[in-house]
Chains A and B, each alone.
Chain A
């Protein structure tokens, strides 16, 4: 009366569908990770090249060093990494790429710092520390504030670091600025450490004061960048 074979067949088909769906999904995930890796590799080459260029020329030719270097790429990569972490699952691959990303950020930061001091270029860096390990709603809010701030001040460079990144270079940064996980989000504005949430008004006035930056004019055409959201 009951066709058990059919129940079994349908079970096998359903399992196959699940496996196929899983396979397709992982295929796309891998493609995304490959895309990330390509962006990252290009970025690494560019940073390395700028670094080398700078070392070669030393202080002789500041005008040859491109100023608004790579900022867009770094931001885009950061966004994509954060998205991948929350949507593709925190795979080894993603956390590996994230470490690599943090390293590139640090390199870019150091290079820009060097350029600005050697060439006397006005610089505005914010180091931003957050966490993805624990629930940190203030971090999410702070990311939004920084994103908005970047829209207002196009010359502002924000480097964001995940506290939970297991990388000695990031740990060194944490040590230098004495960042504790209980005080996240934390911001570093020209050696001054700010902990906890700071709203847009507060941060905006501080940025203006510390870096003496100009607000974006309404006709500005350059593409504003958002800070990495976590």
Chain B
């Protein structure tokens, strides 16, 4: 039973990675990273909302990055919504009042989705997007994203490539690698028409999405996931513009990272529960047959693997204690060269190596897509210990919180 579950989970994990890789092979020529400035046939009006809650340190830079976007100024509107900040965020944003295309709103704190909804009420443009007040847009990002909308009226939202802004420490470098991997996987999900998050750092929507499907919902503190689920359920297409870069500030400590990921995983589990009627329904496509099951499989696999590792660890500890009990601190002076005979080449080890090879490929290709100067870096390796060790804890906590229907704090 123990082995059967293990092999089943390995089978499913290999399946997921092969599925991604086959998708890559099918579509690799479609992955274009543009360098030159591009021109649109026409420049539609766009409103970008910045929901702000206690972001006095970064919000000015966020707003400046929007003002510096390569987009006609008369077509770009900004709505800054102070969601009841208790720091000096409002003073900071008030300095931007002199810009004719910036509107400043202030409201009592009600959560990010309420701030975005207030901005939506003041939006009269064809396109709407939100940007987190700790994220910064690349000057070409908006125009590149809007070029995707020119490809067809059925495209209802375009998600960018989110990457880490100036990583400073070990934890942030580990996240940078994870975001690179995310860039690759997001593009693959896009080819499958199965994206499940329209990232908060900056996604552009046709305003029609909100007119047809309603405004943002709380979505278990992951409103950017809930809206994507709702769009997928109604067959609204989400594209990914891989060369539209948005740089986001990331948690700088394990504790902060834990809280952020706890919120994300809790959001995934609970939005999936809310939208469970979508699962394995043919009409919802790969979103129902691949994205959601994949997420569920990863959660189960990581939790299972974690318990297995803990079990093995205690088993090892027990052996050491037994040895100690039997012969004390027996230090053998018999040091032999390692015998290759004792290297256990069993099939699951080979399959795990295979999975990691494909993950490494995803990271390296993601780096290429993110226009990193070097495709390889030793810092890539930071990802494995940080996420390997800490991820099971936030996954288990999210499962635990779901069971208790206890909600994690926003941050």
Contact = CB atoms under 8 A, between A and B. Distances in A.
Interface of A: 1-2, 6-7, 9-11, 13-14, 17-18, 21-22, 24-25, 28-29, 32, 35, 80, 83, 87, 137, 140-142, 144-145, 147-148, 151, 199-200, 223-226
B351 interface: yes
B22 A10 contact: yes
A223 B322 CA distance: 25
A20 to B, nearest CB: 8
Nearest to B354: A17
Contacts of A9: 22
A226 B332 CA distance: 10
A22 B347 contact: yes
B254 interface: no
Contact of B341 (A18, A32, A142, A144): A32
Contacts of B15: 10-11, 14
A144 B351 contact: no
A2 B14 contact: no
B14 A18 contact: yes
Contacts of B346: 25, 87
Nearest to A2: B285
18 contacts: A1-B282, A2-B282, A2-B289, A6-B23, A17-B14, A21-B354, A24-B345, A24-B347, A25-B350, A28-B345, A35-B341, A87-B344, A144-B322, A144-B330, A147-B327, A151-B333, A200-B326, A224-B332
Contacts of A25: 345-347, 350
B405 interface: no
A17 B18 contact: yes
A37 B165 CA distance: 60
B347 A144 contact: no
A144 B14 CA distance: 40
B322 A141 contact: yes
Contact of A10 (B19, B323, B325, B347): B19
Contacts of A225: 334
Contact of A144 (B286, B327, B354): B327
Given A1-B285, A2-B285, A7-B289, A224 B14 contact: no
B340 to A, nearest CB: 9
A7 B15 CA distance: 9
B152 interface: no
Nearest to A24: B350
Q: Which of B285, B333, B346 has the most CB of A within 10 A?
A: B346
Contacts of B341: 32, 35, 80, 83
B295 to A, nearest CB: 17
A83 B334 CA distance: 19
Contacts of A21: 347-348, 350-351, 354
Q: Which of A17, A29, A137 has most chain B Cβ within 10 Å?
A: A17
B407 interface: no
Nearest to B343: A28
A226 B11 CA distance: 39
Contacts of A17: 14, 18, 351, 354
B371 interface: no
B328 interface: yes
Nearest to B325: A141
Q: Which 8 pairs across A and B sit closest by C-beta, in order of nearness?
A: A21-B347, A141-B326, A28-B345, A25-B347, A21-B350, A148-B327, A144-B326, A14-B15
B342 interface: yes
Give the most central of B332, B333, B347: most A CB within 10 Å: B347
B28 interface: no
Nearest to B332: A151
Contacts of B286: 2
B276 interface: no
Contacts of B319: 140
A18 B22 contact: no
Interface centre among B283, B289, B323, B326, by most A CB within 10 Å?
A: B326
Contacts of A223: 334
Contacts of A147: 327
Contacts of A226: 332, 334
B18 A10 contact: yes
Interface string B243-273: 0000000000000000000000000000000
Given A13-B22, A226-B332, A145 B326 contact: yes
Contacts of A11: 15
A145 B325 CA distance: 10
B326 to A, nearest CB: 4
A14 B19 CA distance: 9
Contacts of A151: 330, 332-334
A151 B330 CA distance: 10
Contacts of B322: 137, 140-141, 144
Contacts of A7: 19, 289
A79 B19 CA distance: 42
Nearest to B355: A17
Contacts of A10: 15, 18-19, 22
Given A6-B19, A25-B350, 20 more contacts: A7-B289, A11-B15, A17-B18, A17-B351, A18-B347, A18-B351, A21-B347, A21-B350, A22-B347, A25-B345, A25-B346, A25-B347, A80-B342, A83-B341, A87-B346, A147-B327, A148-B327, A148-B330, A151-B333, A224-B333
Interface string B2-32: 0000000001001100110011000000000
A20 B152 CA distance: 44
A134 B330 CA distance: 27
Contacts of A24: 345, 347, 350
A108 to B, nearest CB: 21
Contacts of A224: 332-334
B18 A199 contact: no
A43 to B, nearest CB: 16
A17 B226 CA distance: 36
